[in-house]
Amino acid sequence: MYAVVVTFQIVPGKMGAFLPLMRENAATSQRQEDGCHRFDICTDPAHPNEVFLYELYSNRAAFDLHLTSDHFKEFDTQTTQMIAAKSVRTFQDVTT
């Protein structure tokens, strides 16, 4: 498995517009991408402009396919101006 964690800092006042687009991206990823096994969207009331994602893919190739999907490209275009900062980390499962 290949885990991806993303932390977004959302421009103040844009969370209401960002979250529905994020939810649609996550749902479409799980519905259309065989290699996408989990796509969680999390927020913390103590950090109202922050969104944390936990995504789980079969392997790096499945994640790379996600990044080239039409729905991801559309999400990226629609949200670029809503994101103040973004951090992406990836992790390879080493238990098998």
In a domain, 39, yes or no: yes
Q: Which residue has the higher pLDDT, 54 or 93?
A: 54
Range of the domain at 62: 2-91
Q: Tell me, what DSSP letter sits at residue 58?
A: S
Q: Tell me, what DSSP letter sits at residue 33?
A: -
In a domain, 58, yes or no: yes
β-pair partners for 88: 6
Confidence bin at 96 (pLDDT 50/70/90): low
* pLDDT at 93 exceeding the cut of 90: no
The Cα–Cα gap between 63 and 37 comes to 11
Predicted local distance difference test score (pLDDT) of residue 36: 97
For 68, phi then psi, to 5°, come to -100, 0
The Cα–Cα gap between 90 and 57 comes to 11
CATH value at residue 72: 3.30.70.100
The Cα–Cα gap between 26 and 37 comes to 11
pTM above 0.85, yes or no: yes
In a domain, 7, yes or no: yes
In a domain, 59, yes or no: yes
Which residues fall within 8 angstroms of residue 19, CB to CB, at 6 or more apart? 41, 51
Taking only the tens place, the pLDDT of each residue in 35-90 is 999 999 999 999 999 999 999 999 999 999 999 999 999 999 999 999 999 999 99
In a domain, 96, yes or no: no
In a domain, 62, yes or no: yes
Number of domains in the chain: 1
